[in-house]
């Protein structure tokens, strides 16, 4: 049975399932521990959207990266409107759990979504003393 058939089977079996949860988030992230060459697992992250009228950040989602350094289900297609977003990564706590210090207590990446019909990938490549990010696919 291929993956699509597997998912379809679940959906037909449970009519109460929220179909939106099976659709991939249009915004994804991936945390890589570049120093050790492993995914950045068990890192707490949060997604926020800027309210352009009040200039305040509105918390949309909090999550923890899985063993692959990913965090599925960040946002639904319906909630993904154009605007300025912020991804907050708890990098200090991540390295602390590994028994190490980190130059960055947290990392925030602020980015602009102008076309919410596209997919956006906002990864974080991280070590104790450096990090990088890019717009991926």
* CA pair distance 62, 71, nearest whole angstrom: 9
* CA pair distance 30, 90, nearest whole angstrom: 13
List the structure tokens of 113. Answer: 């979504």
* Choice between 19 and 53, CB closer to other proteins: 53
Continuous segment of H or E residues that includes residue 22: none
List the structure tokens of 125. Answer: 């490549």
Select from 11, 59, 111, 119 the one that contacts other proteins (CB under 8 A). Answer: 111
For residue 83, state whether it binds other proteins (rule: CB under 8 A).
no
* Choice between 21 and 118, CB closer to other proteins: 118
Q: Which residues participate in the annotated binding site for substrate?
A: 30, 70, 134
Q: Which stretches of the chain bind other proteins, using CB under 8 A?
A: 84, 92, 101-112, 114, 125, 129-135
């Amino acid at each position: 049975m291929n993956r699509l058939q597997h998912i379809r089977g679940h959906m037909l079996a449970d009519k109460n399932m929220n179909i939106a949860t099976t659709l991939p988030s249009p915004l994804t992230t991936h945390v890589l521990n570049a120093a050790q060459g492993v995914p950045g697992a068990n890192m707490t992250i949060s997604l926020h959207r800027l309210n352009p009228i009040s200039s305040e950040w509105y918390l949309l989602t909090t999550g923890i990266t899985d063993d692959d350094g990913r965090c599925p289900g960040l946002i639904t297609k319906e909630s993904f409107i154009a605007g300025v977003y912020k991804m907050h990564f708890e990098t200090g706590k991540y390295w602390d759990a590994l028994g190490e210090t980190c130059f960055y207590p947290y990392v925030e990446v602020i980015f602009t979504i102008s076309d919410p019909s596209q997919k956006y990938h906002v990864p974080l490549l991280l070590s104790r003393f450096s990090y990088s990010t890019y717009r991926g696919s």
